[in-house]
Amino acid sequence: PVFCTSCCRTQHNLLPLHRIEQWNGMFFQESSLRQAGLVVHLGHRGKPCLAGGYQDRGVPNDFEEDWEDLEEHAGPPHLTAPKDRSCLTVVHTSGVHFCDVRYCNCPGSKDSHLQLACANLFPATTKQPRTAFTFQMLDEFIQDNVECGTSAMNFYSKLRRNTSNAFPHLVPDRYQEMLQVSRIWRLLKLMKWQGFHEGSPDPGSGKLVLFCPACPQPGVNISTDEDINLSKYIVVLFTKCAPADQSGKLEIF
């Protein structure tokens, strides 16, 4: 559908990671919701904070970044990382987005990284976050890695292509951040599956391993009687198997 700029912001108030195009008088060219003036408000279901007075929780003036994504005017506006402190780089399944984020400033409000987590955004750092990854993107990466053997580098290259198939090299590089966050995400999911939560003691050795119901477990799926012949349960451990094809998928026992 075609909207005016104001209606486009209204329709995407809760969908800030959609990709849009803008009519330039001759054809529709790639643009972004940030260029359309969309602002993402956290803590109030997309509405501005009632406390008002936007408090900058971004990078302080004396903070010197170790990298620069692009030089000024080096590429299309929707691919250029803004210098604004309120701008958050969000990595989603559809690619890399730049969002103007306003945090809740109500008394007793959560820290900025916790507000992002409540919005299904995993910040790359807990202090002054400037980059975040959506939960959906992290889950998709794990699935692609497990089922398809996709490496982190290839997965992020795909996200760059999703952002701009013509200029993938101009998309900001968040590969290192994705490596760190994906490791933490895997660990958190394992701890959740095993019943660990905030306040629980640290998991001991082997406590995060998934239980295998097919393996012989004395007292669980086999009897603990001393007279029982365990050889019939562990014979599979000593069974020879050889792949019948070069891919190693078809096995003969």
- Cα–Cα separations (whole angstroms), residue 69 to 66, 90, 124, 170, 174: 10, 14, 16, 8, 10
Q: Mutual orientation of helices 135-143 and 175-193 as an angle, nearest 10°? A: 80
At 180, which amino acid appears?
A: Q
On whether the CB atoms of residues 171 and 89 are closer than 8 A, the answer is no
Q: How far apart are CA 120 and CA 135, in angstroms?
A: 6
> pLDDT in tens for each of the 253 residues of the chain?
788 888 888 888 888 888 888 888 888 888 888 888 888 888 888 888 887 655 444 333 433 344 444 455 457 777 777 777 778 999 999 999 998 888 988 888 899 999 999 999 999 998 889 999 999 999 999 999 999 999 999 999 999 999 988 888 989 999 999 999 999 999 889 888 888 877 778 887 877 877 777 777 777 777 766 555 656 555 555 455 555 555 555 544 4
Task: Please answer whether residues 133 and 120 qualify as being in contact, where contact means their C-beta atoms are separated by less than 8 angstroms.
Answer: no
β-strand partners of 101: 40
Please report how the helices 175-193 and 152-163 are oriented relative to each other, as an axis angle in degrees rounded to 10: 120
Name the pTM for this structure: 0.73
Distance CA 131, CA 125 (A): 8
Put the strands of the sheet holding 39-41 in their side by side order. 39-41, 95-102, 87-92, 131-134, 121-123
Q: Is the dihedral of CA 228, 231, 232, 237 positive or negative?
A: positive
